[in-house]
Structure 1
Amino acid sequence: MRVAITGASGLIGGALSDALRERGDEAVGISRKRGGSTILWDPHAGFEHGDALSGFDAVVNLAGESIAGRWTAAKKARIRDSRVRGTQTIIEALAQASPRPKVLVNASAVGLYGDRGDEVLSERSDPGRSDAFLVEVTQAWEATARTVEALDEPGVRLCLARFGVVLDGHGGALAKMLTPFRLGLGGKIGSGEQWMAWVHRQDVVDALLFMLDHDDARGAFNVVAPNPVRNADFTDSLARVLHRPSIVPLPKLAVRALLGQMGDALLLQGQRVAPMRLLEAGFEFSYPELEPALRGLL
């Protein structure tokens, strides 16, 4: 299988590229920077060559501006445009490709569901309130990806990978938490009651391979572990794995003062998300429980 990947140097893209190569497939990065076998593109302006995706079996689109950082108007515009316009650029290239890739796996996020308290959310749940920034962005992102289904024959199978908090010891949210927790300065955030839809990076990679390999897999998939936890339980588990106390909470007011709207959306709110469609399709998680996942990573 020949797979073209945007975001191939990122946390998920790098691991997916390695996994594909380990099993004998070809993984080719799509990048702004020229080098090796990389396919050159600009998410806004397009590909260097219009037929750049011809001959690939699949495309995995993981590109997007990081949502970390204070959400200024300019930052929010970059978050939205990098996802929506970047996806549109991919689909324009797919329309020109011959032979055309058979499947597009497009990143998305559980932020689509908004803050819903204790409600269990599956792929069949409605999106959250459209005035919430992450809900609006993710809806626009997925709506753009779905336009690939309107291409003429041969059609392109679409999978939407709605990621939760991806856990990895060397990057992402978990890596940022390690220093304060190792210093004994970790604790719950706000009330600690908000749900965290987490997933081990290995299960993310395996889920993406599952979508690539199964011709009957299409539509949205929640890429989260089957056992979400509350923030207080997450921080207690992390402290226990690191053999440190978990007694220094981060108050709600401090989160809002330090991080503004981003802190509110990402740290004080949460989603109790279930990976119903992956489970129904027979996917097996290597790390369904949090504490073994943390021990395996750390």
Structure 2
Amino acid sequence: MANPLSASAVLAALRAEGVRVVEVGNWRTHNRNSRGAWGPLNGSIVHHTVTKGTDATVRIVRDGYADLPGPLCHGMIAKDGQVHMVGWGRTNHAGGGDPKVLEQVIAESYGTAPSKPARGNSNGTDGNAHFYGWECENLGDGKDLWPKAQYDAIVRVQAALCRAHGWTAKSVIGHREWSSDKVDPRGIDMTKLRADVAERLQRPASWSPGKTTPTPPKETPVSTTDDRVKALHTNLLSIGEIGTTAKGTPSGRVEHGAGYYLAHLLNEVRALRADVAALKKEK
């Protein structure tokens, strides 16, 4: 259990995790708090919207419908990976769900997935009081694809919340895992999603898949004039590659700025001068 993050705190957590956030209108105070409690919070629920088009979807999740007023979530995760914040506080996203599932999420005690929910919207526990909610732009027909940027943003959002609260990935569930009469988010394997969230939580918030820490080149002792000439040549080539590497050319070898290599050039030139002076003396 946890007190809800403040609007400022959730923004900081999301941005630290690399999420691209769009703030929509008065989202910080747009909520359904007059209708019931929000908190203590126990987890986060992922949904799909059954809509198409980011602008239209943002309007729907912010304003809601005639029989279901908005906001319908806290943030909407678009196809391009941007997260549109539309509300903060109690929102109409979770509805009723299974109290047994809530107990499992609170204790983070289940295996790869919570037990199948036996209750739904009409006879379940009030999930709007206990969960953050994230609508994801998708038709929900099992055919609409989940772009990589969108899926990555879903993972980052859930990891940001878990990291902020000290939760594990088992605090993240799909709407269908909460309520017996829901199918969302259709097309997302929630077990895999939790595994991907868990992987992020083992890394710094700034981590991106495929990004490695650069390894500095080895320093090798230079003992002969021939070795010094070779080292001089290598560092000159490295300086020449710095400009192209910065533009994304896949050389993959340059890990330092020009100053690093210039310092080595200076030392190598001095050593070569000493060699030449020694040769002159021998003659």
Q: TM-score, normalised by structure 1?
A: 0.27
More strand, by proportion = 1
TM-score (norm 2): 0.28
Q: For the pair shown, which has the larger CA radius of gyration, 1 or 2?
A: 2
